[in-house]
Structures are given as structure tokens and as C-alpha cells.
Amino acid sequence: MSVNNCYHCGADCGKKSIEFNNKYFCCNGCKTVYEILNANELTCYYDLESTPGTIPSDINGKYNYLENEDIIERLLEFNDTETSVVEFYIPSIHCSSCIWVLENLSKLNQGVTISIVNFPKKLLRITFKNKRTNLKELVELITSIGYEPYISLEDADSKTNNVDKTLIYQVSIAAFAFGNIMLLSFPEYFEVDEFWLEKYKHLFRLLMFTMALPVVFYSAKDYFISAYKGLKHKMLNIDVPIALGISVLFIRSSIEIFLDIGSGFFDSLAGLVFFLLLGKFFQQKTYNFLSFERDYKSYFPIAVSLIKNDKETNIQVKDIKKGDRLLIRNEELIPVDGILINGNAAIDYSFVTGESVPVIKISGEKLFAGGKQTAGAIEMEVISSIEQSYLTQLWSNDVFNKSNEKTIKNITDSISRFFTIAILLIALFGGVFWYFYNAAMLFNVVTAVLIIACPCALALSAPFAFGNILRIFGYKKFYLKNSETIENISKVDTIIFDKTGTITSSDKSQLTYFGTALTDIEKGCLKSVLRASNHPLSRSLYEYLEVDTLQEKPSKFNEILGKGIEATINDFNFKIGASSFVEAKAVAVNETSIYIKINNEFKGYFLFKNSYREGTKEVFKKLGAHYNLVILSGDNDGEKEYLEKLLPKNTRFQFNQKPEDKLDFIKKLQENNNKVMMIGDGLNDAGALAQSNVGIAISEDVNVFSPACDAILDAKLFNKLPEFLILSKKTISIIKASFVLSFCYNIVGLYFALTGMLTPVVAAILMPLSSITIVVFVTILTNWMSKKL
């Protein structure tokens, strides 16, 4: 390669070449890409027989079919002519390094804006700019760096992928070997002195060795790969001591049987791998449970307005069918793909693409699931039924990920780092002692320490505890985004509640009108304007007005969150909202109210008497004993006096808060090291929910799903909130207790190892027993504590 040509792109470097690893690059960008590929052993990207950086000859032309527009349309999940989204199933994803490389595709191709990996399902989701790259280039790129996607047009239609059964095969092989090796080991356990057993002893041992081979080199291979990757990146993850323990078990056992000095520990080896894989299998099932491809278990509390025979009814998202006509209000998410029928559509696709500039659509154009309507109400016809996983993909988007605090997974890895160092030191000191005391015991003691200290029970604690508690919460209609949410809940010291729609029940509000009587036409126009809004007060007033909505739709609609609505319909200019917004004198100063101005003439106001959710007083009383409580509301302080009597004395009140005020309020608390939980009503509190350490959206009978939240709670279960929080804290305590229990087993095992008394029968009992005990311990305790729910 000439110094004048870039190793990555082949461009002329001139005199500005950058040297790295005896190679030359035209800029830091090319050098960075090379470093990424080189660090992750993916330099196959560079075909040495042709110009470096071009597509390797073995795949050149292989994906020409991706230039066909019909095929492209079937594969793309989203395409608004500017930005597209595609999802690939990539079987070769296997470790954290794979995730790192694939989530940095933007450094390899500037047309890529976001790439996100769903590791348990081996899915890669790419958002890209159509003018900068295309589907064929992306597929060729990821194939050239070693991640060929599985593409099937049948799968493109059904949106399903072939299930990767590798883990099932690994568990099955380990289970088969474990059972049979245990059976063959029984005579060795009890040292039965019988002619035929003694005669065929060597055959039995050879069979055990043969069955152990696929366990080590196939079933346990991922632990070796992960440990290697961790060490390569100078990290001692929990797979390092596990891989070390498996290696020592296999090597020592092989030496013993081939030198005829013992029967080895092949039973313990197979049992160890089996229980580890069983924990991983359970964890994978937990992720599948969280994927919501379980049709939300028919009770996920997300609904949308269906228009049928000119009447509106709320139905669950899962019940949407092709051909249905839906009403999407201002600030609501579009749950399915459809065709715009009428209304002013300005769709914010930031949940999908990361870009917040609204896309204007006209009648007859396609609308994609995941967009948020921002210009009033629209009506659309459904062209495909709900993809339940789509909302989850939005919920899992990295755009909404919060600060990387230490999680139990990180704690487990941290413990394993010190654990590994401690075990190596114990083995070293044990070896030194026996070297001087009885050198013949040196090998047995050192290997025994490394065998018995394998932290398989430690690795099983968190997956089983979190998996079980997430299952219980989901069954009780409290849906958590991920297991980290449980940990974050356990750290909370301050809980903030929105008022309207959160602690108040919108369907029981009492309304009274004061002012100039409105004509039926004005009421009809007002109801048509309110029809577009998703705010709880707007929804209550819309239900209260006993007139039909007009056929005409607002020609202008602008809803300013925290203030009110400006709209034009039938030559009527409406201003609806707070007194300051409509520029009217506040009459009901200390009451929750909506003021109305029509054609610059103040008409009057609707006064709300809120009905608070059942059990509100008891909920705040229980929470007040353990948390700092705050009411953070955009309403005025009209009900402050009543709330002060209803709620605990230590409750703090903040009224007349705009959305940005709420966000700033939470930021200030966090700057003072407070861990904040925000409980709101979804999209109306999206900013505050995203800023808080834990954001919980209360869901009633409207589409309030927000990717910014960490959990969704069915409004009917509001009175169970304290129990959910207590159970989250206790779950963390259970995991920590299981860590202690795991260490106790290790201490007992180390006693046998250091004293030279670790025999195959002791290992065969102790190692599986520790794993079984941990699984039973966390499962029984989480089930027992959840009975209060």
C-alpha cells in the first residue's frame, strides 16, 4: 500500500497521511473505523486482493435483488422518503463486542443515523438516510464485517424470524451428559469393590470423558468466548471465573482418568454447565416475556378511539383490525400503519428515527406506527393489524435510555472481579502452604480451589429473581420496561405526583359552567376542538358536553402543553385554557377551571370539582413514612387546602407548573442527590418522566403510552402502588441475600478444597446443591412476598 493511499478508503492522502499500526489513513475517521474493526477482530472487511474498503468479491453481486423496489418495500418497516428503518435477524451475534460494533455502524457508513441491537433475539434495527445510503449497501457492509443477516421474504411478510435453538441444544446436551455421567459415577462414589465394575471401570471413565467433550466444547463455548473478550478488553466479568472453573475441572479430570489416579469430576462439570445454561435459558425466556409479543396477555392497558357508525368507542390496541377507522388525538401515538382519511397531520417520528421535525401528510398518504400526531385530531384507516413488539421497540430505543447507574448485573460483574482475584490468591497461598507441608497435595488442592469456587450460583441469583418478579408485576398489571427499573425503584427517596389524571379520576369529575350561555353551534364547535386534545381536562369536558360534534374539522389547531388550545373552526376562533392564556381575569382563582374565549370575546369558564382516586389518602399515608412526597401540577392551587387535609403533612405542593418547570424542578432535586420517581399521565408529562430516575405512566382508558416512561401502571391498581415499591426493594434484598448464601457455599467448598478432602462425591453434591438452593431460594421468597399484592 502506498503512503499516498488510505488503507481504509483508498483515497489519496497526500502529505497529510496519519500512520497507525504501520498503515496510513487519510483522516481520523478512517483511522477510527480501522481501530473499531481491528479491536473486534473484524478486519475481514478489508479484502487484500482488491481495493481496501470495497465490498469483498465473494459477496459482490450477491444482494443485487435488494435494488428491487417491491422487495425493499416489503423489508422496510418505515420509509417517509427521507428516512427508513429496517430490522435484520443476525444469527452470528454472540457477545458484547458484537453489540458494540453493530451499534457503531454510523462510523462505517455515514448514512446510518442509529443502529440498535436486541441481543436476546439477535436483531439489528437500523435507521438510515435514503439519500446517503440504501438497503443493499447496508446489507453488504454488515455481511463484509462478519454479520450476514438472515433475509427471507416470507419473514418480511410475517415479521417473524427462525428461532435460534442453539441454547436449547446446549442445555439438552448438558442435561443428557449430566444424567448419564452421574449414573456412571455411582460405583466410584461408593467405592464399590465388585469384579465386573472393577473390570469395566476404565470403559466407564472413557465414556464419561467422551460425554464431557461436547459439554465443554459446545455447551460451554459461550463462557469461554465471553471470558476471552472480557480479558481482551481488560475486564474481569463473571464469565472469567466460570470459564476458569470449567477448564480446571476438565483438565484435572482428564489427567486423573488417563493417568489412572482417580475418576475425575466429569459429573460436577456437566452439572455446573447444565445449571448455568438453565439460568441463561430462564433469562432468555424472561426477555421473551418482556417483548410483549405475547399479545400483552390480553390486558395491556393501552387503548385507542375506534370510530364506528359515527360513534367513538375505546378499544385495546391489540383488538385493532385491518379496515378499522381510528381517531388519533393531538399528542397521541399512531399504534398501527394506516392511511390518512382527514385532518391536519403533522407527524413527529422522533420515537422511530430520532428526529423531531414533524412530517406533514395529506389525505391518502401512509402513516407509520410509532409517529406522534402534533396538530390536532386526525382520522385514519388501518392497513395492517398491530405489531405488539413495535411499541416495545419504541420503549427500548436508546434515545430514551437514562444514566448508566450501577445495576445488579454490574454489581455481579464487580463482585466477580474481586471474587476472581480472591480465589486466585487463595489458590496461591493454599499451594504455597501445601508445597512446604506436603508437596504431593499441591496439585489437588490448587485445582480443587479453582473448581469449587466457580461462581455459578452467583450468576443465577439475579436472572431468576428479576425474571420471577417481572412476571408477577406483569400479571398484576404493573409493566416494567426492564429489570434495571426494579433496582432504580429500590433507590428512590422522592416521589412526585402529577395531579390531574394521575391522582384524580377523570371519569368522575363534576363540572359547572359560569358565564354567557353558549349556543348549540358554539358548543358543537367547542366539542369538535376538544375532540382533538388528549389532556385529561379536555377529555372530561368533551364527555360532559351533550351535543354532537360537527362534521367540519378545525382548520387550525395548536395545543400548548400546560397552557391551552388555540383553534379555528367554522369561522370561530377559540382560545381554551388557563385564564392567563385566554387573557381573561381569573374568576375562579383557587379552583381548577377551563376558560373559554370565542372570537376575542370572553364567554365564561367551566369549573371542575375533581374526584380523587380510591385509596389516595391511604397510598400517600403509606408512602409518606418512607419517601419525600411532592404534588407537581400544571393546575392552579384551588384545591390546595383540600389536599393539605387529605395528604400527609410532609407533602410538598407546587402548582401552576409548565412542562419545562416540572423538568427543571426534578433536575434541581437530582442535583441535590435525590433519586426521583415521577408519576404522571403519559405524554402530557413526557419530559418529566424522562428526566426522573423512574418514570411511571398511569394508564386509564386512552392511549397514554410514552416511550419516555419506565413503567406503566393500570389506573385501577393505583392503590397498590406502595406494595409494588416495597416488593421492588425486597427483591434487591433477596438478591443480596442470595449472594451471601452463595458465598457460604463457597466457604464450605473451600474448606474441603484447602484441606485436600474434596472428593468427586463431595463436589457432585455441593456444586449442584448450591445452584438448586439459589434458584429455589429466590423463587420461593419472591412468590411469598408478592402474596400481599
At 596, is the pLDDT very low, low, confident or very high (cuts 50, 70, 90)? very high
Are 617 and 499 in the same domain?
yes
Same domain, 49 and 93: no
Nearest to 91 by CA among 15, 165, 23: 165
Domain count, the chain: 5
Domain shared by 493 and 641, yes or no:
yes
Domain co-membership, 225 together with 89: no
What does the pLDDT read at residue 297?
36
Q: What is the pLDDT of residue 173?
A: 94
Pairwise CA distance, residues 47 & 41, whole Å: 14
CA angle 560, 561, 563 (to 5 degrees): 70
518 and 482 in a common domain: no
What does the block give as the cell for 387?
Answer: 405489531
Backbone angles phi, psi at 756, to 5 degrees: 75, 20
Q: What is the mean pLDDT of the chain?
A: 78
CB 9 within 8 Å of CB 30: yes
Do 242 and 459 meet the contact criterion of CB atoms below 8 Å apart? yes
Residue 388 scores a pLDDT above 60: no
Q: How confident is the model at residue 47 (pLDDT cuts 50, 70, 90)?
A: very low
* Residue 646 in domain: yes
As given in the structure block, the three cell numbers for residue 721 are 402502588
Give the pLDDT confidence of 512-562 residue by residue, as tens digits: 888 888 888 889 999 988 888 877 788 888 888 888 877 777 888 888 877
194 lies in the same domain as 265: yes
DSSP tag of 453: T
C-alpha cell at 216: 465443554
- Identify whether residues 700 and 757 lie together within a single domain: no
Residue 679 domain boundaries: 469-504+612-728
pLDDT band per the 50, 70, 90 thresholds, residue 174: very high
CATH number, residue 617: 3.40.50.1000
Residue range 254-273: mean pLDDT, rounded: 84
The pLDDT score that the predictor gives to residue 758 is: 72
Residue 458 shares a structural domain with residue 534: no
The reported pLDDT for the residue numbered 407 is 60
Q: Is residue 378 part of a domain?
A: no
In terms of domains, do 630 and 547 share one?
no
**Which residue, chain included where needed, has cell 466479568?**
237
C-alpha–C-alpha distance, residues 675 and 626, integer Å: 13
Does 75 share its domain with 127? yes
Q: How far apart are the first and last CA of the chain?
A: 69
Query: Looking at the DSSP assignment, which residues form a beta bridge with residue 628?
Result: 494
The C-alpha cell of 395 is what?
420503549
SS3 188: helix
Three-state SS for 372? strand
Domain contains 309: no
Give bridge partners of residue 598 from the DSSP assignment: 574, 601
Domain-terminating residue out of 557, 579, 609? 609
Question: What is the 8-class DSSP label of residue 635?
Answer: S
CB atoms within 10 A of CB 456: 25
**pLDDT, mean of residues 671-683:** 86
The answer to whether position 212 is within a domain reads: yes
Report the half-sphere exposure of 478 (CA within 13 A, side-chain side): 25
